[in-house]
């Protein structure tokens, strides 16, 4: 356990070594929130209006909820794993009595902690500037379900990143392409971080809900808003948990095979 | 345990994709990739006793690194038997990993943007070292390698030689019983090379660790390894005493000199066998026992600007002495 605590501490120190990088990434997040906020604020300019089952308060809470949930789910370092595999730095870890997957999960948690702290500050700042009407969830059961859904979201995203990062075992030159497609294009649009999934046509919605992506952002935020309750909530949690299981199982097989063909290149 | 390392009939093949040059080649390989099998190791066998310091020597691409990587559990052997400290390296048992270390001259484990002391702290946690043991080991290594002043400087600001000493420290904090050193002196200047060699020699004596060290340069092993293994094209050509290799296959040394003018150049034959003259550089081969005398004669009688005495390149020994054996 102590070894992972030390990794946690050093990871945070390293993030500070890249101060500017970190700040720019946070600025990007704030700008994105501004953009989404003003878009929906305009659509719902009439506060009595209700579209797609959202009123002004709820859609604006959704936008703010995204900010915090994004900081928790999308701030991850595990995409660097593909570099380790492609250029042979993975060897450094394989030589040590340490679990590589746990190592990266710890680094992800460090990154998330830091991002969460910053996003809370940003949250307060934006709250003071924009003064949006926010919806406060008071149902304790739903709050617990919200926390559980966040944990599942973090695991799903971590496992997806790790699986993508295993591709270089077989195709070392894949580089950033697959990550871009999955984490930027697919995850951003299907996770609900740009718009709530339930504004899509019903058929498309049901298809999207069987993929792991909406459980990253959309599902946790909706649980918080109280829009998903009873069986739909339980069902959603089961699907998310099932995805964690499937991804974990696949990852283990892929890594066992990957390590056998691993060439530990770059001398 | 009477053998620290046992290797028997180790074979390792790699699948590589070949690409034709140019854009059209890249396009072709996208749709019909050409696979080629590279035979990195073609069945090598040797055994090493605890506490031995063995030099693993051969030209680039001979299979030295592949051997070290197979021994440390990074590569999955195609076939053959490997045992290190009575463990199968491939299982990467934590108890095994706590007793070995692999240092690669061209790879680093240090965290690039942080001072090296942070990596050391991390290794302390990873290897479960008690604080006291860690402090003792660190102090010892800091003294031996003279790195006191470098501990708190971000790694990216260190020179190559300084970084190598840090790498060694990081690799030795947990006092491994078996140490694999892959070209530890590559790219270093002569003084830095000598520092590393002295350190390896002392460390072997003091700690009693088994050390396997690779190099493509015979000079690296002089006064260091008593036993050498020569590898070429994935096969072992020679495994025995360094002294015997020298006396049987490398009786001569090479003197390289830079002359400031061409005076008396024909007299060079008197000093030794002239191998090459491309002025201002001359290369002379002389018997090992009289190399020092030959060098001083050269200095006295010729306008020498610069002079070095070197071992015969390993490629030449392989070409001459193991002609038959080294064929594919």
Query: What's the pLDDT at B328?
Result: 42
Give the span between the Cα atoms of B216 and B60, in whole angstroms: 7
Query: What's the pLDDT at B326?
Result: 47
> Which residues 6+ apart lie within 8 Å of A16 measured at CB?
A22
Residue A92 near chain B (CB below 8 Å): yes
- What's the full length of chain B, in residues? 328
Q: Are A96 and B111 a contacting pair at CB < 8 A?
A: no
Q: Residue A182 pLDDT > 80, yes or no?
A: no
Please calculate the CA angle B177-B183-B188 and round it to the nearest 5 degrees. 120
Query: What's the pLDDT at A133?
Result: 82
Q: Which of residues 187-216 of B touch A (CB under 8 A)?
A: none
| HEC letters along A37-59 | HHHHHHHCCCCCCCECCECHHHH
Q: Treating both helix axes as pointing N-terminal to C-terminal, what angle do A230-261 and A140-164 enclose, rounded to 10 degrees?
A: 20
Residue A256 near chain B (CB below 8 Å): no
The HSE-up count of residue B32 (CA atoms within 13 Å, CB side) is 2
Chain B positions in Cβ-Cβ contact with residue A110 (cut-off 8 Å): none
Instruction: Give the minimum alpha-carbon distance from B122 to chain A in angstroms, rounded to a whole number.
Output: 6
Higher pLDDT, A238 or A136: A238
Give the span between the Cα atoms of A119 and A30, in whole angstroms: 9
Q: Are A14 and B126 a contacting pair at CB < 8 A?
A: no
Q: Are B69 and A6 a contacting pair at CB < 8 A?
A: no
Give the span between the Cα atoms of B96 and A94, in whole angstroms: 12
Residue A10 near chain B (CB below 8 Å): yes
Q: Which of residues 160-189 of A touch B (CB under 8 A)?
A: none
Condensed to tens digits (0 to 9), the pLDDT of residues B149-171 reads 999 999 999 998 899 899 999 99
Q: Which of A13, A95, A261 lies at the smallest CB-CB distance from B102?
A: A95
Q: Are B126 and A10 a contacting pair at CB < 8 A?
A: no
Among the listed ranges A64-68, A234-238, B241-245, which one has the minimum average pLDDT value?
A64-68
Higher pLDDT, A31 or A1: A31
pLDDT band at residue A213 using 50, 70 and 90 as cut-offs: very high
A259: which 2 tokens? 């390590």
Residue A50 near chain B (CB below 8 Å): no
Q: Treating both helix axes as pointing N-terminal to C-terminal, what angle do A218-225 and A56-73 enclose, rounded to 10 degrees?
A: 130
Residues of chain B with pLDDT under 70: 1, 19, 23, 25-30, 323-328
Given a contact cutoff of 8 angstroms between Cβ atoms, the answer to whether B274 and B267 are in contact is no
Q: Which of A6, A14, A263 lies at the smallest CB-CB distance from B125?
A: A6
A201: which 2 tokens? 């046509």
């Amino acid at each position: 356990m102590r070894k992972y605590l030390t990794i946690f501490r050093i990871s945070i120190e390293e993030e500070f070594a890249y101060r500017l990088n970190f700040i720019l990434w946070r600025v990007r997040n704030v700008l994105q929130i501004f953009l989404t906020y003003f878009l929906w604020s305009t659509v719902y300019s009439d506060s009595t209006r209700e579209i797609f089952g959202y009123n002004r308060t709820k859609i604006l809470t959704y936008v703010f909820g995204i900010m915090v949930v994004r900081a928790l789910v999308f701030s991850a370092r595990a995409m660097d794993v593909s570099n380790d595999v492609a250029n042979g730095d993975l060897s450094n870890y394989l030589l040590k009595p340490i679990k590589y997957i746990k190592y990266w999960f710890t680094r992800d948690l460090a990154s998330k902690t830091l991002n969460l702290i910053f996003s809370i500050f940003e949250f307060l700042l934006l709250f003071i500037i924009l003064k949006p009407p926010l919806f406060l969830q008071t149902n304790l059961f739903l709050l617990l379900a919200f926390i559980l859904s966040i944990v599942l979201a973090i695991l799903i995203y971590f496992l997806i990143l790790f699986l993508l990062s295993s591709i270089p075992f077989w195709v070392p030159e894949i580089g950033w392409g697959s990550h871009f497609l999955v984490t930027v294009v697919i995850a951003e649009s299907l996770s609900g971080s740009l718009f709530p999934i339930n504004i899509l046509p019903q058929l498309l919605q049901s298809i999207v809900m069987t993929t792991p992506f909406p459980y990253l952002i959309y599902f946790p935020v909706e649980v918080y808003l109280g829009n998903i309750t009873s069986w739909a909530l339980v069902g959603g949690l089961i699907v998310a948990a099932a995805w964690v299981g499937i991804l974990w199982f696949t990852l283990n097989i892929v890594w066992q095979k990957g390590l056998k063909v691993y060439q530990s290149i770059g001398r | 345990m009477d053998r620290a390392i046992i290797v028997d009939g180790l074979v390792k093949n790699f699948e590589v994709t070949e690409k034709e040059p140019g854009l059209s080649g890249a396009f072709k390989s996208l749709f019909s990739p050409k696979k080629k099998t590279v035979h990195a190791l073609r069945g090598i066998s040797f055994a090493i006793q605890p506490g031995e310091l063995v030099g693993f020597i051969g030209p680039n691409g001979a299979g030295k690194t592949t051997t070290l990587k197979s021994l440390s559990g990074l590569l999955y052997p195609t076939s053959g038997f490997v045992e290190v400290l009575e463990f199968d390296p491939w299982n990467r048992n934590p108890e095994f990993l706590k007793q070995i270390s692999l240092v690669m001259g061209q790879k680093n484990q240090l965290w690039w943007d942080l001072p090296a002391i942070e990596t050391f702290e991390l290794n302390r946690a990873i290897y479960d070292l008690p604080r006291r043991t860690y402090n003792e080991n660190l102090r010892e290594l800091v003294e031996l390698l003279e790195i006191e002043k470098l501990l708190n400087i971000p790694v990216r600001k260190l020179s190559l030689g300084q970084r190598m000493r840090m790498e060694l420290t990081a690799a030795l904090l947990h006092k491994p019983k078996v140490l694999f050193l892959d070209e530890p002196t590559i790219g270093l200047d002569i003084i830095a090379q000598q520092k590393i060699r002295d350190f390896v020699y002392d460390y072997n004596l003091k700690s009693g660790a088994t050390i396997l060290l690779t190099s493509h340069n015979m000079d690296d092993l002089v006064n260091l390894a008593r036993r050498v293994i020569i590898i070429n094209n994935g096969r072992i050509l020679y495994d025995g005493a360094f002294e015997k290799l020298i006396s049987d296959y490398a009786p001569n040394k090479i003197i390289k000199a830079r002359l400031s003018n061409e005076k008396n150049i024909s007299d060079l034959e008197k000093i030794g066998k002239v191998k090459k003259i491309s002025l201002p550089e001359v290369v002379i081969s002389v018997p090992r026992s009289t190399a020092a005398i030959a060098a001083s004669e050269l200095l006295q009688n010729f306008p020498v600007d610069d002079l070095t005495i070197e071992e015969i390149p390993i490629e030449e020994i392989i070409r001459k002495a193991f002609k038959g054996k080294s064929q594919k």
